[in-house]
């Protein structure tokens, strides 16, 4: 994201004097608004239990007790692991199924392609709320309550990924596929050797998009779990809030812990994240 320092000519000249001060003041003000809720929660979660209501804005005492308690008593460690497992599974499945179906739509010529593609696109419009009740029942009948496959099943395929990758594939020259066929490269070979390497940036984008969407699921995990240890971070936090009614700082520490992994992802993969979130806005 960080655009490299541009040549200081014309309009790209960095602001100076009053304009520079004003800009910093604005940046500072926005930083304050964005960080304030995070700051107060960090401060509160670092205080010992009996100080959490005293001078909430001042970090006057410090302990990691609440974090330890949230990790163990609050099951946050387990919740994070569950979220990670489900999100990774969903991401991998979405990637593979999207690659395969995008390939079929881009390179294969078969009867009913337009119709099938239209149906794929239509699934993008169906909000998860319409499917929740029936899907809960399906997962229940499959015996998948309290399982990772139950948490992941409804999200394993995505027309969004199919569509995204198809756009990339369509940009490859037709001759490329024909040349590869001459070289005796089969469908999977072409996909592996030629198409995937070319689609890598879009795949990275899809990976992050899928991972975040899965990580942020709120209603579904709550519907298909009845064991505390099968909750994900989101449904776990929802539950922790009532279960730890007598230990508010444990809830706050849990909130911080729940946000940390994605924050780290943000720091490490900032560039990919931008692609991931803008994937839908980028025109093919």
> Which string of x and - marks every residue 153-182 that binds another protein (by CB under 8 A)?
xxxxx-x--xx---x--x------------
- For position 38 contacting another protein by CB under 8 A, the verdict is yes
Hey, what's the torsion of the CAs at 219, 223, 228, 230, to 10 degrees?
Answer: -90
- For position 116 contacting another protein by CB under 8 A, the verdict is yes
Token pair belonging to 55: 């001078």
- For position 110 contacting another protein by CB under 8 A, the verdict is yes
Report the interhelical angle of 270-278 vs 248-268 (nearest 10°): 90
Options 67, 71, 103, 169; binder of another protein; rule CB under 8 A = 103
Options 65, 187, 201, 272; binder of another protein; rule CB under 8 A = 187
Options 85, 176, 194, 259; binder of another protein; rule CB under 8 A = 259
Options 6, 64, 179, 268; binder of another protein; rule CB under 8 A = 6
> Which string of x and - marks every residue 204-243 that binds another protein (by CB under 8 A)?
--------x--xx-xx---x--xxx----xx--xxx-xxx
Task: Identify the burial level of 84 via C-beta atoms within 10 angstroms of its C-beta, where 0-12 means exposed, 13-18 middle and 19 or more buried.
Answer: middle
Options 68, 80, 121, 175; binder of another protein; rule CB under 8 A = 121
Residue 199 CA to residue 3 CA, distance in Å, equals 24
Residue 276 CA to residue 263 CA, distance in Å, equals 15
**Number of residues lying near another protein (CB under 8 A):** 126
- For position 2 contacting another protein by CB under 8 A, the verdict is yes
Q: Binders of another protein among 60-89, rule CB under 8 A?
A: none
Token pair belonging to 51: 């100080």
Residue 234 CA to residue 144 CA, distance in Å, equals 19
Selected range binding another protein among 52-60, 64-72, 177-185, 192-200, rule: CB under 8 A: 52-60
- For position 127 contacting another protein by CB under 8 A, the verdict is yes
Kind plus residue range of the DSSP H or E element containing 164: helix 159-170
Classify residue 10 by its DSSP letter: G
Altogether, the residues listed in the chain come to a count of 284
């Amino acid at each position: 994201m960080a655009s490299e320092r541009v040549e200081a000519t014309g309009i790209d000249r960095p602001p100076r004097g009053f304009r520079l001060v004003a800009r910093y003041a604005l940046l500072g003000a926005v930083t304050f608004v964005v960080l304030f809720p995070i700051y107060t929660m960090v401060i509160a979660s670092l205080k010992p239990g009996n100080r959490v209501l005293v001078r909430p804005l001042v970090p006057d005492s410090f302990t990691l007790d609440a974090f330890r308690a949230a990790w163990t008593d609050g099951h946050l460690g387990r919740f994070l692991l569950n979220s990670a497992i489900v999100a990774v599974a969903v991401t991998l499945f979405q990637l593979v199924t999207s690659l395969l179906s995008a390939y079929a739509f881009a390179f294969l010529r078969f009867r009913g392609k337009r119709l099938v593609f239209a149906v794929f696109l239509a699934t993008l419009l169906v909000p998860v709320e319409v499917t929740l009740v029936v899907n809960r029942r399906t997962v229940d009948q499959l015996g998948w309550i309290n399982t990772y496959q139950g948490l992941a099943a409804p999200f394993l395929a995505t027309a969004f990924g199919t569509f995204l990758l198809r756009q990339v594939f369509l940009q490859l020259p037709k001759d490329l596929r024909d040349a590869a066929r001459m070289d005796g490269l089969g469908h999977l070979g072409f996909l592996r050797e030629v198409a995937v390497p070319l689609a890598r940036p879009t795949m990275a984008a899809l990976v992050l998009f899928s991972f975040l969407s899965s990580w942020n699921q709120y209603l579904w995990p709550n519907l298909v779990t009845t064991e505390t240890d099968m909750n994900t971070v989101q449904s776990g936090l929802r539950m922790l809030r009532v279960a730890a009614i007598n230990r508010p700082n444990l809830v706050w520490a849990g909130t911080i812990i729940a946000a940390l992994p994605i924050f780290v992802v943000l720091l490490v993969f900032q560039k990919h994240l931008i692609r991931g979130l803008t994937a839908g806005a980028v025109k093919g």
